[in-house]
Amino acid sequence: MRRLSLGSRLALLFAACTAVVSLTAGILFSRASATHFIELDQQLLNSRLSLLRQMLEGVDSPASLAPRLPALQTELSHQADLAVRIGGRDGRIWFDSQAGLPDSPQVVGLSTLHASGVDYRSLCVNLNDGDAQLTLFLDITHHQHFLQRMQQLIWLTVGLSALATALLGAWAARSGLRPLRQMGEVASGVSARSLTTRLPEGQMPVELAELAQTVNAMLERLDDAFQRLSAFSADIAHELRTPLSNLLTHTQVTLTRPRSLDEYREALHSNLEELQWMAQLVNDMLYLAKADHGLLMPSRQQLALEDEADALLEYYAPLAEDAEVKLSREGQAPLAGDRHMLRRALSNLLDNALRFTPAGGEIRVTIEQREGLVRLQVANRGEPIDPALLPKLFDRFYRADPARREGSSEHAGLGLAITRSIVQAHGGSIRGESAGGWTRFVIDLPTV
């Protein structure tokens, strides 16, 4: 079944409301008129009744009635719409002032009757202690006609007003829902190539502003993710291009003429280095991709962070000694986390610090326990870093010096990105600081 549009739905609801309101008003009005007519009739009949009672004083049989009939008829001839019936208690009719009157209602009081196409209001009373019954008939056909006309009018009004509000409602709904349609148009215009389109939040009505905001925020995130994805793909291609071209060139050059066994061996070794570098890159990227998909699920073992830090410092000790860099650790804290992942994260930071600490320098690992979190800092003496660049250090493939990528021991620039992913998988945060000749990476890990 086709679903009703919002506009039609609103128009129909408007029409129904108007119909109900005008119908109610009409019915009330028609009831009030009917009651009013009854009151008028009653007054009229009552005034006639007192006169007739006088004239019929003492009548208790057809015989006693006969002498008064001429006066009665004269009186009635002044009243064209009034008819009179006089009868006995037993229901027999002694006198009808007109032919074609309806049967008596038999009950004392006011009734509405109908006979031979004429409507009557009748008033029935007992005369002279109940020996005779007098019924007055008032022709109210014109009243009934009026009421019928009014009913028709009411139905007409109901129908017309419903139709009118349906049309007006449709128009109102259409113009009222214009921002929604606008939203739809903008949304339908969004594609991978035009994620920059935004809904005009300021021009939206209050009810839609929030939705517009949500949609805009979603577009923002999509745009951001898409930009990063595109940049990432471009970066991957770029990163792989250098080792691939090295491999191609080197292999082709080697094969152009016969060479000594040692030369072949050397060529294969060189290729192996490039290939290992590429394999490492691909593995690191898969790791990051896993992190992006929320698949990095750290186990929660109880760890003494100082032990992990010491294990890493021991691991790096020979390298640091060679580089004449002093390593130290201060503080301690327990933490529930994934040992391998945290070691990897810290290892990347130390590796990075060792790379940028000049000979005679120092690297300090500090562990602090704070309210609800553990703060782990890796600080090294080194060149100050432009504060604007600090957040970029965690971007994939970011290198302080873009021209640098020589030798297979060089990181592809994914180390800090991996560290951040691991920290985030643990629910923590990482930031870089540079002040007073120290470069500092600060990791905050929640203890819960």
Partner 1 sequence: MKLLIVEDQTKTGQYLCQGLSEAGFATELASDGNTGQHLALTGDYDLLILDVMLPGRDGWQILQAVRAAGLEIPVLFLTARDAVEDRVHGLELGADDYLVKPFAFSELLARVRSLLRRGSSPAQETTLGLADLRLDLIRRRVERAGQRIDLTAKEFALLELLLRRQGEVLPKSLIASQVWDMNFDSDTNVIEVAIRRLRLKIDDAHDNKLIHTVRGMGYVLEERGA
Which residues are at the interface with partner 1 (CB under 8 A)? 269, 272-273, 276-277, 279-280, 282-283, 286, 290, 295, 297, 311-312, 314-316, 318-319, 322, 340, 343-344, 347-348, 351, 354, 408-409, 411
Tokens of residue 306, six digits: 């100082």
Which of 57/263 has CB closer to partner 1? Answer: 263
State which residue, 224 or 314, has the beta carbon closest to partner 1: 314
How far CA 219 is from CA of 181, 205, 227, in Å, comes to 18, 20, 12
To partner 1, the closest distance from the beta carbon of 315 in angstroms equals: 5
Using CA atoms, how far apart are residues 223 and 212, in angstroms rounded to an integer? 16
Closest CA to 121 of 34, 52, 22, 243: 34
Strands 118-127 and 132-139: antiparallel
Q: How far is the CB of 280 from partner 1 (least distance, A)?
A: 5
Place of tokens 């600081």: 433
**Residue 379 Cβ vs partner 1, minimum distance, rounded to whole Å:** 19
CB of residue 274 to partner 1, shortest distance in Å: 10
C-beta separation of 443 from 368 below 8 A = no
Cβ proximity to partner 1, 124 vs 325, nearer residue: 325
Q: Of 363, 276, 373, nearest to 312 (Cα)?
A: 363
Instruction: Name the minimum Å distance from CB 427 to partner 1.
Output: 18
Query: What does the DSSP 8-state code read for residue 110?
Result: E
How far lies 262's CA from each of 46, 57, 140, 252, 269, in Å?
A: 139, 154, 130, 17, 10
* CA atoms within 13 A of residue 402's CA, in its CB half-sphere: 4
Tokens of 294: 């929320």
Q: Which residue's CB is nearer to partner 1, number 60 or number 274? A: 274
CB of 210 to partner 1, least distance (A): 38
CB of residue 431 vs partner 1: minimum separation in angstroms? Answer: 23
- 406 DSSP assignment: -
Comparison of 160 and 295: residue with beta carbon closer to partner 1: 295
Q: If you ran DSSP here, which 8-state letter would residue 28 be given?
A: H
Nearer Cβ to partner 1, position 96 or 273?
Answer: 273
Length of the chain: 448
> Distance (Å, rounded) from C-alpha 94 to C-alpha 63?
9
Query: Which H or E run includes 388?
Result: none
- If the CB atoms of residues 156 and 272 are measured against partner 1, the closer one turns out to be 272
Token output for 343: 């070691």
Q: CB of 321: closest distance to partner 1 in angstroms?
A: 8
When the beta carbons of 228 and 339 are compared against partner 1, the nearer one is 339
Name the minimum Å distance from CB 411 to partner 1: 7
Cα distance between residue 395 and residue 397, in whole Å: 6
Which CB, 155 or 315, lies closer to partner 1?
Answer: 315
